Amino acid sequence: MADVLVQEGEEPKLSKKELNKLAKKAQKASKAAEVNLVKMADVLVQEGEEPKLSKKELNKLAKKAQKASKAAEKGGNQQQSASDEQEDYSKDFYGSYGLVNSKEKKELNFLRVKEVTAANASKDIWVRGRVHTTRSKGKNCFLVLRQGVYTVQVAMFMNEKISKQMLKFVSSISKESIVDVYATINKVENPIESSLSLPLPLPKLPLQIEDASRRAPTDEEKSNEQENQLAVVNLDTRLDNRVLDLRTTTSHAIFRIQAGVCNQFRNILDARGFVEIMAPKIISAPSEGGANVFEVSYFKGSAYLAQSPQLYKQMAIAGDFEKVYTIGPVFRAEDSNTHRHMTEFVGLDLEMAFNFHYHEVMETIAEVLTQMFKGLQQNYPDEIAAVGNQYPAEPFQFCEPPLILKYPDAIALLRANGIEIGDEDDLSTPVEKFLGKLVKERYSTDFYVLDKFPLAVRPFYTMPDAHDARYSNSYDMFMRGEEILSGAQRIHDADILTERAKHHQVDLVKIQSYIDAFKYGCPPHAGGGIGLERVTMLFLGLHNIRLASLFPRDPKRLTP
Amino acid sequence: MADVLVQEGEEPKLSKKELNKLAKKAQKASKAAEVNLVKMADVLVQEGEEPKLSKKELNKLAKKAQKASKAAEKGGNQQQSASDEQEDYSKDFYGSYGLVNSKEKKELNFLRVKEVTAANASKDIWVRGRVHTTRSKGKNCFLVLRQGVYTVQVAMFMNEKISKQMLKFVSSISKESIVDVYATINKVENPIESSLSLPLPLPKLPLQIEDASRRAPTDEEKSNEQENQLAVVNLDTRLDNRVLDLRTTTSHAIFRIQAGVCNQFRNILDARGFVEIMAPKIISAPSEGGANVFEVSYFKGSAYLAQSPQLYKQMAIAGDFEKVYTIGPVFRAEDSNTHRHMTEFVGLDLEMAFNFHYHEVMETIAEVLTQMFKGLQQNYPDEIAAVGNQYPAEPFQFCEPPLILKYPDAIALLRANGIEIGDEDDLSTPVEKFLGKLVKERYSTDFYVLDKFPLAVRPFYTMPDAHDARYSNSYDMFMRGEEILSGAQRIHDADILTERAKHHQVDLVKIQSYIDAFKYGCPPHAGGGIGLERVTMLFLGLHNIRLASLFPRDPKRLTP
C-alpha cells in the first residue's frame, strides 16, 4: 500500500532518515499493494481493488492494465522479456479506466485532499487528484497530487505487492493527469519535501503550473546575477493557456475570493432589504451619450450593448422597488490598453431611494463595502495568504466608519503637496494614485469616499449641489488610490433632466425613454456601480486587472 | 390628526356606522392636525410638524404651502375670497418639499406601510407612500397609500385643525404622487373599504395601476353580457409603460420571487461546494455552430454574443474548479415570437465534475431544483398568492425524489396515448406539453427529468450513451410540460470531440479554442443551463415569459 503523507508547513523537507524509515516500513508491509492508477488519453482515472468491484470487473481491469503497462513501456524498455511481464504480481492494481462515458455507476468514498490530515492518520482511503509532479528514485516513486489549492504526497516503495512494472507505470504518468489512489495516511514527523522545486520537465505543456505559480523576482533578486533564475510565466502566455493557468493555487484563491465579493455584496444588501434585479444588456440607444458603445446587429436593425445598468436600476426605483442591486456584465468600447481597463467587466450595481439626502445612500454604500472587506478578511484568510505568496502586497487596510473626504478638501491636500490643480478640475489617474498615498499616510486607510465632485466633470443626469452650483451630489470610492465606484444622486425630475441633457448637448431623442421613466413620479434616489474585477485586484494588491478576470476581454484579446 | 386605518381582509367595506363614528371622533379631536402633504412637480413629499423641524422651517413651509394651496385651487374655485385664505388655520401642516436635491439632512422615523398593523394601534407615526387612490366626500377625504405590495388607508375629517383648504389640497393630489403623512394608527372593527374599485380617473397616466392589477375575465365572465366589464391592460401597453406596470402588486411579487429563485439557486449550490464564476459574453466565435448568434462590432473587427456560458463553465472544470455555477445574460438571435422565447434571457448555469457517471450530476441538479421549489413555497407564500389573484394557477406540484423518466419510456407513454412518434424523434413543443399532462396525471408532479435523449437531436459535444449508440448521456428538465433546462455529459476528450464535430459538420477552425481546452486533461463532467424567466413563469403558471422579465427583449421589442 502506498502512503499518503500529511504535509505540514510551507517548504518542508523529508529527511534522509525519515525516508529510510518509510522505505523499510513499506517493504515490511504485508498488506496488498492498493495503489491503482489507470491511464486514458490525458485523463488518468483509477479503477481498482475495493470491495464493491466484482471479481469479473477486476479481471477485466487487469487485462486492460497490462495493455496499458505495455504501452507505457514501449517508449522506455522495449527489450523487456515476456517472463518479466508474467512476473507483474501487481497487475490487478493499476491501469486505465478508458473513456469515462458513464458506462457504469460506481461508488467510491473519496476523501478530499484537504481532509488528508494528521487527524486521519493510519486510515485507508481513496483520493482523486491531478498529478502535480512525479519523482522516482530507484525503487521509490513519489507523486504529488493536487486538488484545487491543496496538495498531498503519495509515496510508493517497491515491495512484494508493488512491482517494478507498477512503479514504472506510475512514474510514466504525465503531469496534469488525473489519478485515483488507494493508500494509508501516514503522518511523518518531519514534513515531507515539497516537490514544487523539482519539476519534471514536460515540454508538451505550454506552461508549467509551477512556473505559473512562481513569484516574480524582485529588482534586488534580478540584479543578483549569481541567483539561479527560475522561470516566471508572462501574462499573455498565462491568458493564452488560461485553463492551465487557472489550475494554480493563486488562480483558485483569486476566484474564490472574487466569488466571495459577490456573495458578501448580495448577503449584506439582502439583509438591508435590497431586491436583486436583472437588467437587459441589449439596448436600443446608448444611454450615456453614444461614445464607447458596442453596436450589435439586431435582426434587420441594430442595437447596442449596455454601458451600465443604470437606466434600468433607476426605472426599478421609479417602479417602487426602493432598493435594488444587480450583478452583471458591463461593456465599454474604449480602446484603453491599461492595467485596469477591460472592454467587458462585471458590475456590482446598486440604487436606492432615499428620504431627504443622498448621503443616506452614499453612507450605506461605504458601509456595505467596509462590511464586505471585513467579511473577506474573515472568510478567506488562506486564499489571501496564497495570493500574497505569489503577488506580495500590504494587507488591505480600512477604517470604521469609512473616511469621507470632500472634493475641495482633497484639492487642498493635493495643493499642499505640490500638485497644481484647479477647483473644478477632474483628477487624472496619477493624481488619484498620489491622493490615495496622501490619504493612506494621513488616515491609515486604503479605502475612502470622495464626495461632491465638480458638476462639470460628471454626467448630465447628476444632481447639482443645492448650495454651490459648481459642485454636485456625486462621489467616487477608492481602493489603494484607484477608483472602484462612481455614484451620485440622479436627477429624478423629467424637466430638470431634460434641461441638463440639453446643456450637455445630449441628443434628447435618443434618451427619451430614459426621461419618460421620471414622468409619473419617482422618489429621490442615488446609487453607484462597482467594478468587480477592480475590487478583487485592489483588495489583493494585484498589478493587473486581467488576473482578476477568468477570461479577460480587452481591445486586443477576445480568446479564449 | 388623520387616521391610518388598519386594513384586514381582502375586499373590506367600511360600514356607514363605522364611518360616522370615525367622523365624530375626528371632530372631537383636540390634537393639532398633523397631516402634512407637500406638492412638487409629480413627486409629493411631506414636510411638517415634528419636534425636529425648527420654527423658521415651519414658517417657510407654511408660506410655500399657501402658495401651493392657491395653485391647487386655481383650477377649482377661483372665486375663493382672501378672507377664506386667511382662515386657513392648517396652513402650517401641508405643502410641497420642492425638489429634493439633498439641500438638508433630516431624520424622520418612517414606519413601513406593512408595519401599520393592529399591534401598533393608537401610535402616532410618519409614513411615506405613493397615492394609490384618493376619494373625497364632503368633509372627508380618504387616501390609499401604497408602498410596494402593501397599502394603507388614510382618513381625514374636516375639524378645527384640518381646514377646508387642507382637505381640498389633499384631494387634489394626483395619483402616483409620493406623500408623507403624520397620523394616528386606528384599528377599525369592520375593516375599511378598499378603494381599488373606485379609481379616480386620471387621464394623463398611460395605464391605471388598478387596471394593470386586474385579473382578466374568464370566458364565462366574458360571455356574461350583464356583467360590468372592467378594463384590463394588454401586454404591450404594460411593457411600453413598464415603470407604471412594475408598481402593481403582481409585478412586485413576481420579481421578488424571481430574486428568490436566484438566491435559492446560489445558496443551495454554495452549500454543496460550488464556486460562482463569471463568464464573458463577448466571444470570438459562436461556440454552438453559428446559427442564431448576434454579431457585435469589435473595434476594427467583429465578435459575437455568447449563446451560453457553456464553454467557459467547461474550461473552469478543466481548470479544476470541480463544481461551478454562473448567473448571467444569454443571447439568442432567434426570430421566435412565442410566449416563451426572448432574444435575451438570464441563464442559471452549472457544471460539475463527476466521478463515474453523469447521473451524479443529473440527480444533483434535479435535487437542487426540488430544494428550490420548496424554498420558494416556504419563503414566498404571500407573493405566490398575490400573483395568483391576478393570474390564477394550480399550485406548483413536485415529488421527492424527483421523477426521472427515460426517453424510450416517454415515447412509449406518448404512443399509448395516440401520439405517433419515432424512437429517435425529438419532441415538438405541443408533444412536450402533452407529455407533461400525461406525467402529471400518472405521477402527480409538475416537475420531472427526461433522461437519455436520442444522440441525433443533441449538440455535437454530447457524450454518446455507452450502451446504445442511438442515445446519449443527456437530459432535459420540465416544469408544467415546458422545458426549463437542457443538459448533458460533455465529451471531455479532445479527439472524440473533434470526431463528433466533424460528424456534425461543425467548422473545426471556429471551435479550436473549445477543443484545446480538453488537451491537458479534463475530468469527466456534466451540467446544464436553466432559463430563469421560464422557471419564474412556470412556477407561477404565468401565460407569457415577458411578465417574468423586467425589461423583455424579443425580435420586436428593444425598449424601454
Query: What DSSP designation does A454 have?
Result: B
Who has greater pLDDT, B89 or B289? B89
Residue A193 has pLDDT above 60, yes or no: no
Residue of B nearest to A472 (CA): B101
Note which residues in 462-481 of chain A have CB less than 8 A from chain B. Answer: 463-464, 466-467, 473
Q: Report how far apart the first and last C-alpha atoms of chain A are (Å, whole number).
A: 42
Q: How confident is the model at residue B12 (pLDDT cuts 50, 70, 90)?
A: very low
**At how many degrees (to 10) do helices B381-390 and B532-540 cross?**
70
Report CB contact under 8 Å: B282, A492: no
DSSP three-state, residue B535:
helix
How far is it, in rounded angstroms, from Cα A341 to Cα B40? 42
pLDDT of residue A41: 23
**pLDDT band at B24; cut points 50, 70, 90:** low
Residue A16 or residue A395, greater confidence: A395
Q: What is the per-residue pLDDT for A381?
A: 96
Q: Is residue B323 over pLDDT 90?
A: yes
Specify whether the CB–CB gap between B325 and B342 falls below 8 A: no
Answer for the pair A182, A48: CB distance below 8 angstroms, yes or no. Answer: yes
Mean pLDDT for chain B overall: 82
Q: Is A272 helix (H, G, I), strand (E, B) or coil?
A: coil
For residue A251, the chain B residues in CB contact (below 8 A) are: 319
Q: Residue B280 and residue B168: Cα distance in Å, rounded?
A: 57
* Interface contact A297-B298, CB threshold 8 A: no
Q: How far apart are CA B34 and CA B126, in angstroms?
A: 10
pLDDT at B81: 44
Mean pLDDT of B3-26: 46
pLDDT in tens, A85-106: 557 888 878 888 888 899 888 8
- Mean pLDDT calculated for residue range A152-160: 85
Q: What is the pLDDT of residue B177?
A: 86
Question: Quick check: A155 pLDDT over 70?
Answer: yes
Residue among B192, B176, B213, B13 at smallest CA distance from B116:
B192
Q: What is the pLDDT of residue A21?
A: 56
Of the two residues A466 and A225, the one the predictor is more confident about is A466
Bond prior to B560 in cis (omega within 30° of 0): yes
Record the cell numbers describing residue B533, joined without a space: 424567466
For B423-491, the DSSP string reads TTPPPPHHHHHHHHHHHHHHH--SEEEEE--BGGGS-TTBPBPSS-TTBBSEEEEEETTEEEEEEEEBP
C-alpha cell at B445: 408532479
Residue in the block written with cell 487596510: A397
Q: Is the pLDDT of residue A333 over 50?
A: yes
| Backbone conformation region of residue B390, classed left if phi is above 0, alpha if psi is from -120 to 50, else beta | alpha
What sections of B286-424 are H helices per DSSP?
310-318, 359-379, 381-390, 407-416
Q: Please tell me the predicted confidence (pLDDT) of residue B2.
A: 60
In terms of average pLDDT, the best of B150-159, B271-280, B492-501 is B271-280
CA distances from B214 to A239, A292, B233, B389, B390 (A): 54, 43, 8, 8, 6
Least confident of A493-507, B11-25, B331-345: B11-25
What is the value of pTM for the model shown?
0.84
CA distances to A144, A454, B46 from B52, rounded to whole Å, are 69, 31, 14
> Among the options B483, B500, B533, B546, which is catalytic?
B483
Q: Mean pLDDT throughout A382-402? A: 95
Instruction: Please report which residue ranges of B87-145 form alpha helices under DSSP H.
Output: none
Judged by DSSP in three states, A343 sits in coil
Q: What's the whole-number mean pLDDT along residues A146-166?
A: 85
B296, B302 contact by CB (below 8 A) = yes
Residue B319 has pLDDT above 90, yes or no: yes
* Range B323-334 average pLDDT: 97
Q: Is A205 on the interface with B (CB under 8 A)?
A: yes
Low-confidence winner among A3-17, A383-397, B523-537 (lowest mean pLDDT): A3-17
Contact pairs from chain A to chain B, CB under 8 Å = 303
Q: Where are the alpha helices (DSSP H) in B121-218?
A: 164-171, 209-212
Q: What would the mean pLDDT of A165-181 be, rounded to a whole number?
A: 85
CB B192 within 8 A of CB B5: yes
B23 or A220: which leads in pLDDT: A220
3-state secondary structure B239-270: HHCHHHHCCCHHHHHHHHHHHHHHHHHHHHHH
Q: Which of A359-368, B214-223, B244-253 has the highest mean pLDDT?
A: A359-368
Q: Compute the distance between CA of residue A491 and CA of residue A518 in angstroms, rounded to an integer.
A: 9
More confident residue, A409 or A516: A409
The residue with greater pLDDT, B388 or A11, is B388
B485 or B96, which is more confident: B485
- Complex-level ipTM beyond the 0.95 threshold: no
Pairing state between β B2-5 and B150-157: antiparallel
B511-517 contact pairs (CB < 8 A, 24+): B511/B285, B511/B287, B513/A559, B513/A560, B513/B284, B513/B285, B513/B311, B514/B287, B514/B311, B514/B461, B516/A243, B516/A560, B517/A243, B517/A560, B517/B311, B517/B314, B517/B315, B517/B318
Between A129 and B219, name the one with better pLDDT.
Answer: A129
Task: For the beta carbon of residue B335, count every other beta carbon within 10 angstroms.
Answer: 13
Q: Could you give the CA distance from residue A432 to residue B21 in angstroms, rounded to a whole number?
A: 66
Our answer to whether residue A483 is catalytic in this structure is: yes
Count CA atoms within 13 Å of residue A187 on its CB side.
8
Cβ burial of B295 (10 Å; 0-12, 13-18, 19+) is: middle
Q: Indicate if the pLDDT at residue B200 is higher than 50.
A: no
The torsion defined by the Cα of A221, A225, A226 and A228, in degrees rounded to 10, comes to 60
> Which candidate from B245, B315, B524 shows the least CB-CB separation from A243?
B315
Q: Averaged over A128-138, what is the pLDDT?
A: 86
Q: Does the CB of A130 have a partner CB in chain B at under 8 Å?
A: yes
Reply yes or no on whether B340 is catalytic.
yes
Question: Which tens digits make up the pLDDT trace of B101-143?
Answer: 998 898 888 999 888 888 888 888 888 999 888 888 888 888 8
pLDDT digits (tens, 9 = 90+) for A494-551: 999 999 999 998 888 888 888 888 888 899 999 999 999 999 999 999 999 999 999 9
Distance (Å) of CA A321 to CA A353, B116, B182, B425: 9, 19, 23, 46
- Distance CA(B433)–CA(B440), nearest Å, equals 11
CA pair distance B388, B395, nearest whole angstrom = 9
Cα–Cα distance between A96 and B31 in angstroms, integer?
88
Answer yes or no: A332 catalytic.
Answer: yes
- Which DSSP symbol is given to A303? E
Instruction: Check if B334 is active-site.
Output: yes
Query: Considering only alpha carbons, which residue of chain B is nearest residue A262?
Result: B276
Name the range with the highest mean pLDDT among A57-61, A227-231, A501-505: A501-505
Beta-bridge mates of residue A248: none
B221 classed as catalytic: no
Q: Specify burial of residue B115 (Cβ count, 10 A radius: 0-12, 13-18, 19+).
A: middle
Helix (H) or strand (E) holding A165: helix A164-171
Task: Give the pLDDT confidence score for residue A190 in this predicted structure.
Answer: 53
Check B49, B215, B486, B557 and give the catalytic one.
Answer: B486
Task: Determine contact, residues A195/A133, Cβ cutoff 8 Å.
Answer: yes
pLDDT on residue B379: 97
- Give the Cα separation of B415 and B423 in Å (integer): 10
* Identity of the residue in A299, A316, A328 whose CB atom sits nearest the CB atom of B329: A328
Distance CA(B459)–CA(A417), nearest Å, equals: 63
**B124-133, B323-332, B433-442, B545-554: least confident range:** B124-133
Q: Which of A238, A239, A235 is nearest to A551 (CA)?
A: A239
- Choose among A41, A473, A559: nearest Cβ to B101: A473
Please answer yes or no on whether A281 and B281 come within 8 Å at the CB atom: yes
C-alpha cell recorded at residue A108: 467510491
**Which member of B115, B322, B334, B367 is catalytic?**
B334
Task: Identify the pLDDT of residue A63.
Answer: 57
- Residue among A282, A467, A558 minimizing CB distance to B558: A282
Is residue B246 very low, low, confident or very high in pLDDT (cuts 50, 70, 90)?
very high
> What pLDDT is recorded for position A517?
87
3-state DSSP call for residue A188? coil
| CA B277/CA B286 separation, integer angstroms | 20
Q: What percent of chain A has pLDDT over 90?
A: 52
Helix residue ranges per DSSP H, A332-406: 359-379, 381-390
Average pLDDT, chain A: 82
Q: Is A42's Cβ below 8 Å from some Cβ in B?
A: yes
C-alpha span between B360 and A365 (Å, rounded): 41
Query: Which three cell numbers, joined as nine digits, stand for B92?
Result: 402650517
Mean pLDDT confidence for B549-557: 96
Write out the three cell numbers for B229.
Answer: 366589464
Helix segments in B381-420, DSSP class H: 381-390, 407-416
A135 and A175 Cβ atoms separated by less than 8 Å: no
pLDDT at B13: 41
Q: Please, are residues A239 and A245 in contact by the beta-carbon 8 Å criterion?
A: yes
B486 assigned to active site: yes
pLDDT at A341 over 70: yes
Of all residues in chain A, the percent with pLDDT exceeding 70 is 80
Nearest CA in chain B to A360: B105
Q: Say if residue A560 is preceded by a cis peptide, omega within 30 of 0.
A: yes
CA distance B539 to B545: 11
Angstrom distance (rounded) from CA B212 to CA B239: 11
Contact A550 B495 (CB under 8 A): no
User: Nearest 5°: phi and psi at A181?
Assistant: -130, 135
Among the partner-chain residues A247, A327, A463, the one whose CB lies closest to the CB of B320 is A247
d(CA A108, CA A97): 14
pLDDT at position A10: 32
> How close B214 gets to chain A, by Cα (Å)?
18
Q: Which residue of B has its CA nearest to A533?
A: B278
How many Cα atoms sit within 13 Å of A338 on the Cβ side?
A: 9
Q: Is B102 a catalytic residue?
A: no
Q: What one-character-per-residue DSSP string does A282-293 give?
A: EESS-TT-STT-
Band of residue A33 on the pLDDT scale cut at 50, 70, 90: very low
